[in-house]
Amino acid sequence: MVRLRPLAVALLLSGCEGLVEPGAVDEAGPLPVMPGLPQGSGGGAGEVPVPHVLVAEPLHRLNRAEYDNTVRDLLGTSLRPARAFPPDTFVGGFDNAADALTLPASLFALYAESAKALAESTLRITPRFTAHVEARAVGIATAQPGAAFENWGWTLTGTFTTTVAVPRDELTTLTVVAGGAHTAAAPVPQLSLWVDGQKLKSFAITAAPASPQVLSVSVVLLKGARKVQVSFDNFLNEPAMNEGNQAVIGALDLVSAATVTPPGRSKVYVCEPSGPQDAACYERIALTFAERAYRHPLGAEETKTVLALQRTLAASEGAPAATELVVRAVLLSPQFLFRASVAGVGSGPASDWVPLDDFALASRLSYFLWSSMPDDALLAAAGTGALRSESGLRAQVTRMLEDPRSQALREGFAAAWLGVRALESSRPDPTAFPTFTEPVREALKEETGLFFDAVLREGRPVTDLLTPDFGFTSDLLAHRAHEPLPGSAAMVRVARGPSERRGILSLGAYLTSTSDPVHTSPVRRGRFVLEQFLGFEIPPPPPGIPPLPTDASAGTVRERLAEHRKDPTCAACHNQVDPVGLGLEEYDAVGLQRATENGAPIDTSGALGGQRFEGANALAALLRDDPRFVRTLTAKLYAYALGRAKVPEDTVFIDELTRALPREGGRLSDLVTLIVLSPPFRLRPVAETSP
Amino acid sequence: MSLSRRRFLGGAGALVALPAFESLWPRRAAAAAPTSPDRLLVYFLPNGRTPATWVPAAAGTSYTLPLASSGLNPFKSQLTFMSGFDHRAAREAAAIADHAKGTGPVLTNFAFNANTPLNNGISFDQLLVRELKPTTRFASLQWGAGQPAPCDFGPSTCTYTQCISWKGAGEPLGPVTSPLTAFNQLFAGSGEGATEAERARRRGSLKSVLDTVSGEAKSLKGQLSKGDGVRLDEYLSSVRELELRLTTPPSSTCTPGQAPAASLDYPSQVRAFHDLMVLALQCDLSRYVTFMIEYGLSGRSHPFVQSYGGHHALTHGGAAVLDQLVRLEKWQCDMGAELLGKLKAAKDASGASLLDSTAVLMIPDMGDPSVHDHENLAPVLVGTLNGKLKPGKAVRYAKEPLGNLYVSLAKAFGLTLPRFGVDGVKVLGELLA
């Protein structure tokens, strides 16, 4: 059964040859002047060499994070509807690549549900207090399910009692759905509503259970636990006489007279209509909302379309309901669901480059830094043409990185790059690693996020990603690692010396997510380092893989892998990959430092290409001095910024950005700025549109 | 209102003990369609199957199911246990690793090149949709109980390990993995408004909403490149599907029961999907359903059957963990058998058992997972598809093109396919009645 296909082996060998080659970063040659900035801008115009070819941004559906953040900023909602959407596909390491953001019918149906929930929850003024009790769900000894009656109620034979928590004194309407029946000689059933032992009102039950009646009474309920009862006052059961009566109750509802207005309503209701006939105000609401949701001023055609819909719906449903439906329509519109919708097409040489539309650029910027829509300040800058100048763009980047919304880069970029997403599905063996609990998993995610955020937003050099003098921990993480407790349940910053665990190579999230449930995987760790930090693409293993023994009697993981590499088929790649990961063996399968494995002292000798090293901090130093690290980071951030997988035309720009970084200051935030200033981010090619 | 007290209480107790979903039973069965439609349910099994404990040693009508597939014993007379299919599309798929190669084309039989983003062909279930044009509320459904995980080597591998249904190139149909979302999907828009008049008016309003956004997409399309036009075509087709659903409200004979909980442990998640699948078929909400018990390359651990290692790691763990792997494979098959039991017990509007009108295809992504064998797939076909299939035996093929299985199934569904995918050219007569 174990067969090796010649083709696969050939691919494998050629695929791994690159691993021994040093990275191809061209240190020679001057950085071309940033091309294409219009007159009066800070960048100046320059001649561009032929190989610079721009590729247009493809039509880009909002991914899950972008959708949730956008509706948060648009409607002030705390709903996170995208949690119910299927996960977006990762391409090139990120889940914001346009090619993979498809829109199947099942997702569109979820968008429709979400739009409805968002419109209703944002626009509807709701009671301040409500409670809903299904009689069946409570159940009492003296009742039995009245399923015969359309499956909605309980048949009462005594008193139904439930307790409702009332958050403050409220004038409240109590309603009970009820139905009844009686034999000829038995009395019409009578039910009474009680609160805290006080009878409020009695009702004759004349409706059949199949078409029940609603009992209703208003009362001031005092704050606290209130006992609400429904009594059956004249229950008669004489089987011998074949005489009796019956009452069935369904849901009990409590609704306060006082209301609350959702915070997002004022974002939509930019004017308060004087009444349903105030068409001018309702139309202004519709147009303003569409303009904000579309993230650009409405064109004449768009205005016409929105107005036509508002008028049609107002005629049939009334203006307030029409507003809700228009909000739903806008949230389903391609102008909302796709970003930068008219952003230029095809690809083209420098002579055919033009600036991106101001508002498309504003969206590109906000979705890069915030994973959300532009705010008013950014839209205003787009409106005045301020984004066409280098200084204008720099000012926005600085402002936007200071804004807390830039934490979106943690989730969208850093979590994907640094293995946090994969941590979700890691299942370390609970017997071998009892300290790996769900709170630990959450803390490890936070550790990575906080660390990346600190380097980005404190203006730290990119090299601080590898060799910083600080890290983050909490009592939980420190206790688990047998380190001194920082005295904080929340994550706090601590100093880290050159020999202590520090930097991205020491982060628990990727160390755990690249391990197997019971032991470390130097193979996966090595692959992670080579791919994520040095930009290699490791080819897939060939079919017919001999199993790697998992039991400890087969020796340490290092010994087992050495055995594996004796197979020449495996050796081609594993001789390159394994030694990188083996140098990280000081960390166990859940990222804890250790001195021994199976009783033997840990061997942390590793090798990167031809360079030998001992342990994670030594590898970090090698990476810090390796130009491929910054280039790889640049390439990844660039692909994330543009929201598409890297194509060959991008290489020249990525090389230029890499070379420009030291001159700009070498900070991670500088890299963000440089990418924003680069032609692929700001400009677009001119090409023909489809017929 | 007067009535006999005895009848009154006797009726009251009648529905009490039934599980939640049983209340969704079509209430006016006799008034509905007199014949059962043909249905397809694909039950995908990730990470291959260990042949020694999966494939029966003997062929023919007298055979024994080994340990991992023994859960299918109650259905022996209703199934065909096949082995020896050559998954050529998997072998020839390019620029991607083995689990993506096995899973991505398992229903498309298309040898894709992963260097072209989202390259693939149409999957068998979507072919049925395209050719048979169902008028059910959902043309097809894609569900799964997978958890996001690493996705193998190569470009866009998650799409290939996580999607088995494809409308075609660039249009993977990823499964919904939350039973609650799937439940809401089934019953969403079942009517806004308290009265039928209000609901009718609201349907009209929502049609205006959808017509408006379609119009916007069409005018946008004129301003974009061809590639982006494809994305807008997809948008337009999705809007049309929703519009169709609005204009064909769910049958009044089928009402939702209790929604599944938002958070479920894994076996409960799988079982909740089983109930929803039965419901979707029973209420004729859809006729073509694909389900992935886990994504391809599943790394899930199954401690509840004393199988602790990640699934994929176990397949390469050798003899030391073979017992854990077999317990896991047995559990997945047992779950499939549970679903078959529910299908058998459930009756559709015509009064026939769902298992009689359905072709259930339980199919793994590869043969022996320890060597990523793509040349010995062993799927199981259960049910008679309204008498068009001839079950009750084990069939051992030798490198039979997998495409021929789909050409044969197509025949059973009344379609003549000259070719399907990379190698499907002929009908396997022994499968058909």
Q: Do A110 and B181 touch (CB under 8 A)?
A: yes
What domain range includes position B376? Answer: 20-190+255-431
Number of domains in chain A: 2
| Domain match, B236 and B347 both | no
Question: Which residue's entry shows tokens 């023919």?
Answer: B60
Q: Which of residues 107-136 of B touch A (CB under 8 A)?
A: 117-118
| Domain match, B153 and B45 both | yes
Q: Do A110 and B155 touch (CB under 8 A)?
A: no
| Domain match, B281 and B134 both | yes
Last residue of some domain: B201, B233, B249?
Answer: B249
User: Is B14 a member of any domain?
Assistant: no
Task: Give the pLDDT confidence of A240-266 residue by residue, as tens digits.
Answer: 777 788 888 888 999 999 999 998 899
User: pLDDT category, A38, cuts 50, 70, 90?
Assistant: very low
User: pLDDT category, B252, cuts 50, 70, 90?
Assistant: low
Task: Give the pLDDT confidence of B327-356 residue by residue, as tens digits.
Answer: 999 999 999 999 999 999 998 888 889 999
A614 Cβ under 8 Å from any chain B Cβ: no
pLDDT above 60 for A22 = no
pLDDT, residue B219, reads 87
pLDDT, residue A218, reads 95
| Domain match, B210 and B260 both | no
Task: Give the pLDDT confidence of B260-313 residue by residue, as tens digits.
Answer: 887 889 999 999 999 999 999 988 889 999 999 999 988 888 999 999 888 988
Last residue of some domain: A625, A650, A679?
Answer: A625
pLDDT above 70 for B3 = no
pLDDT above 60 for A341 = no
Last residue of some domain: B227, B249, B271?
Answer: B249
A149 contacts in chain B (CB < 8 Å) = 12
Of the given ranges (A34-43, A135-144, A618-627), which has the lowest mean pLDDT? A34-43
| Domain match, B259 and B118 both | yes
Highest mean pLDDT among A328-337, A537-546, B130-139: A328-337
pLDDT above 60 for B218 = yes
Task: Give the pLDDT confidence of A362-371 residue by residue, as tens digits.
Answer: 999 999 999 9
User: Is B196 a member of any domain?
Assistant: yes
| Domain match, B204 and B186 both | no
pLDDT, residue A254, reads 95
Mean pLDDT rounded to a whole number for chain B: 85
User: Of B188, B209, B316, which is closest to A109 when you measure between CB atoms?
Assistant: B188
Of the given ranges (A427-436, B40-49, B110-119, B137-146), which has the lowest mean pLDDT? B110-119
pLDDT, residue A246, reads 81
pLDDT, residue A37, reads 34
DSSP string covering A371-425, please?
Answer: SS---HHHHHHHHTTGGGSHHHHHHHHHHHHHSGGGGHHIIIIIHHHTTHHHHTT
Mean pLDDT rounded to a whole number for chain A: 84
A58 contacts in chain B (CB < 8 Å) = 227-228, 231
| Domain match, B244 and B265 both | no
A539 Cβ under 8 Å from any chain B Cβ: yes
Task: Give the pLDDT confidence of B360-405 residue by residue, as tens digits.
Answer: 999 999 999 998 999 999 999 999 999 999 999 999 999 999 999 9
Task: Give the pLDDT confidence of A640-652 residue by residue, as tens digits.
Answer: 999 988 888 899 9
pLDDT, residue B383, reads 95
pLDDT mean over A200-216: 88
Rg, Å, chain A Cα set = 33
pLDDT, residue A510, reads 95
What domain range includes position A419? Answer: 413-538+549-625
User: Is B77 a member of any domain?
Assistant: yes
Q: What is the rounded distance in angstroms from the CA atom of residue A342 to the CA atom of residue A686?
A: 12
- Residue A253 maps to which CATH number? 2.60.120.260
pLDDT, residue B185, reads 77
Give, to the nearest 10 degrees, the angle between helix B179-187 and helix A105-123.
80
pLDDT above 80 for A323 = yes
Number of domains in chain B: 2
Query: Complex ipTM, two decimals?
Result: 0.78
| Domain match, B263 and B174 both | yes
Higher-confidence residue: B254 or A591? A591
User: Is B367 a member of any domain?
Assistant: yes
Residue A614, both tokens: 């001992």
Distance from the B175 Cα atom to the nearest Cα atom in chain A, whole angstroms: 7
Residue A621, both tokens: 């130093």
Q: What is the rounded distance in angstroms from the CA atom of residue A373 to the CA atom of residue A62?
A: 10
Mapping DSSP onto H, E and C, the string for chain B reads: CCCCHHHHHHHHHCCCCCCHHHHHCCCCHHHCCCCCCCEEEEEEECCCCCHHHHCCCCCECCCCCCHHHHHHHHHHHHEEEEEEEECHHHHHCECCCHHHHHHCCCCCCCCCECCCCCCCCCCHHHHHHHHHCCCCCCCCEEEECCCCCCCCCCCCHHHHHHCCEEEECCEEECCECCHHHHHHHHHCCCCCCCCHHHHHHHHHHHHHHHHHHHHHHHHHHCCCCHHHHHHHHHHHHHHHHHHHHHHCCCCCCCCCCCCCCCCCCHHHHHHHHHHHHHHHHHCCCCCEEEEECCCCCCCCCEHHHCECCCHHHHHCCHHHHHHHHHHHHHHHHHHHHHHHHHHHHCECCCCCEHHHHEEEEEEECCCCHHHCCCCCECCEEECCCCCCECCCEEEEEEEEEHHHHHHHHHHHCCCCCCCECCCECCCCHHHEC
Last residue of some domain: B231, B249, B267?
Answer: B249
pLDDT above 50 for A522 = yes
- Return the SS3 of A147: coil
pLDDT, residue A547, reads 55
Of the given ranges (A2-16, A498-512, B83-97), which has the lowest mean pLDDT? A2-16
Question: Considering only alpha carbons, which residue of chain B is nearest residue A340?
Answer: B224
